Amino acid sequence: MMRVFADFAARQLERLRERQQRQRVVEERVREVLERRRFHIVFQPMHDLAGQRIAGYEALTRFTAEPNQGPDKWFEEAATVGLREDLNWPPSNWR
């Protein structure tokens, strides 16, 4: 019985270690994007079709880093390591 519990505990610890390793990789990747500014902001007009005018603009983040994935994935990954707000625009240290 002790062997069964020991095996179970070992598997749980290994899963925890693997999850922590994946989190470190994601955090390093997101931090590199932030530090090297591997993203840029584009502004897309929002049209008022009834009034036939530009009603405003939305700011969209575009990433130039690997892996090549959509902004939703970058923001999702950043959220898993507590860095989502760092990717928001304007950044908190914007001047």
Q: Smallest Cα–Cα separation from 38: which of 16, 71, 14?
A: 71
Tell me: pLDDT of 93 over 70: no
Report pLDDT digits (tens) over 4-26: 889 888 999 999 999 999 999 99
Count structural domains, the chain. 1
Phi, psi (deg, nearest 5) at residue 89:
-120, 140
In a domain, 53, yes or no: yes
In a domain, 95, yes or no: no
Question: How far apart are alpha carbons 30 and 84 in whole angstroms?
Answer: 9
**Cα separations in angstroms, 16 against 8, 52, 78, 82:** 12, 55, 20, 18
What pLDDT shows up at residue 91?
59
Over residues 68-87, mean pLDDT: 93
Confirm if 77 and 24 have CB atoms less than 8 A apart.
no
Q: How confident is the model at residue 92 (pLDDT cuts 50, 70, 90)?
A: low
Report pLDDT digits (tens) over 43-66: 999 999 999 999 999 989 999 999
What pLDDT shows up at residue 90?
61
In a domain, 92, yes or no: no
For 72, the domain range is 2-87
Percent of the chain with pLDDT over 70: 93
pTM for the complete prediction?
Answer: 0.71
